[in-house]
Amino acid sequence: MGLIVQKFGGSSVADAEGMKRVAARIVATKKAGNQVVVVVSAMGDTTDELIDLANQVSPIPPGRELDMLLTAGERISMALLAMAINNLGFEAQSFTGSQAGVITDSTHGKARIIDVTPGRIREAIDSGNIAIVAGFQGISQDTKDITTLGRGGSDTTAVALAAALDADVCEIYTDVDGIFSADPRAVPSARKLSTVTYEEMLELAAAGAKVLHLRCVEYARRYNLPIHVRSSFSPLEGTWVVENHPEGGTMEQAIIAGVAHDKSEAKVTIVGVPDRTGVAARIFQALADNDLNIDMIVQNVSAAATGLTDISFTLPKADGAEATNVLKKIQGEVGFASIQYDDTIGKLSLVGAGMRSHPGVTATFFAAMSEAGVNIEMISTSEIRISIIVRESDLERAAKAAHTAFGLDSDQNEAVVYGGTGR
């Protein structure tokens, strides 16, 4: 008998029919002789709708109350799913994040998991029940307030629970058949990957691939927990996220695992920064003190005549207003000229462990952008990733061009997107 943790996204449980279909799937896993723990997201776009509602009531909702509101979405879906399973003749119990023992820090809206103490979950499954856990939420260790883990937090809940329970596998059910070489919504010719390494998946997730949350992959890598990403709408084998590609696997010779694109970032340029020791440190310390995550950073060569330079960086659009306010506060101290904010950009990333041993990847990538008539504004690289910033209006065209240039286009049927809005 194995222990399987299954996570179902919002599009899988978007309505009553979806609930029944998911319940049947869970029961089938239970009938196969497994202990089953299920982590569930809010129904459909419920979380987005609740955020919209909060913003209508208050322009800046207090973090504590917003978390209290948003966690209602998962409570609805976990209770309904437990009802649907009970209706099929199997015992199911639903648990909130705090009841499941998900202990977090006290940062509202993007709390980090400190510990998982799943005593009640273990008790429920040992007595033969199916445990349904609300994803995306926990309880603060010091304030005892309800917290949320940020976007994609249900993935993190699932992997954290799987690690704490020493599960055999964590299955992440979504609205596509697995992890694809690009987002099938933007690149219909994307092909499904049979395996992807933690390393590649971390880069893809960080670059905007929505199928798995970055923190969930970090967690899985830390505990060497296999993740199986598959569709809740079909019985097909999905994509395995593992430490290494299997020997002789089809992905062995692939240079590029996939192309990811992201429209959720904005670019901030600090103009006329004095080019002297400690200035950059002061700027980024101020941003760090306000819990602002920075992605790409580019600093220009300073002008010889003036000794001034420009520093550009990207960050989530949601943090744009706060970042500019923080920078304005230190403008007098640092002595830079002005701040430029641009939220009409897109990020395109090329990811693949094969890059290490294949020269010419950058040249092929940039040639593809040139042929597609796409101008590159920023460039950032790692050992297995190349990321560029382009105009948002050019992003999908750029993604298709890069996908084709590296021979990733599938000659099979177009990838099927079974549900979800991609919101």
Over residues 282-299, the pLDDT tens digits come to 999 999 999 899 999 999
Average pLDDT over residues 172-188: 87
pLDDT of residue 422: 46
pLDDT of residue 420: 52
pLDDT in tens, 47-93: 999 999 999 999 999 999 999 999 999 999 999 999 999 999 999 99
pLDDT of residue 246: 77
Q: Reply yes or no on domain 3-175 having CATH 1.10.357.10.
A: no
Give 255's pLDDT tier (boundaries 50, 70, 90). Answer: confident
Q: Which two tokens stand for residue 342?
A: 């641009």
Distances (CA, A) of 188 to 32, 196, 409: 35, 20, 9
Average pLDDT over residues 85-113: 96
Give the DSSP letter string of 191-206. -B-SEEEHHHHHHHHH
pLDDT of residue 31: 96
* pTM of the predicted model as reported, rounded to 2 decimal places: 0.82
pLDDT of residue 368: 96
Strand bridging mode 92-95 / 130-134: parallel
Do 29 and 62 meet the contact criterion of CB atoms below 8 Å apart? Answer: no
CB neighbourhood size of 297 (10 A): 13
Measured CA to CA, the distance from residue 342 to residue 358 in angstroms comes to 34
Distances (CA, A) of 410 to 78, 82, 189, 353, 368: 37, 39, 5, 20, 18
pLDDT of residue 227: 96
Give 139's pLDDT tier (boundaries 50, 70, 90). Answer: very high
Write phi, then psi, for 251 (nearest 5 degrees): -85, -5
Residue 135 in this model has a pLDDT that exceeds 50: yes
Residue 327 in this model has a pLDDT that exceeds 70: yes
- Domain residue limits, the chain: 3-175
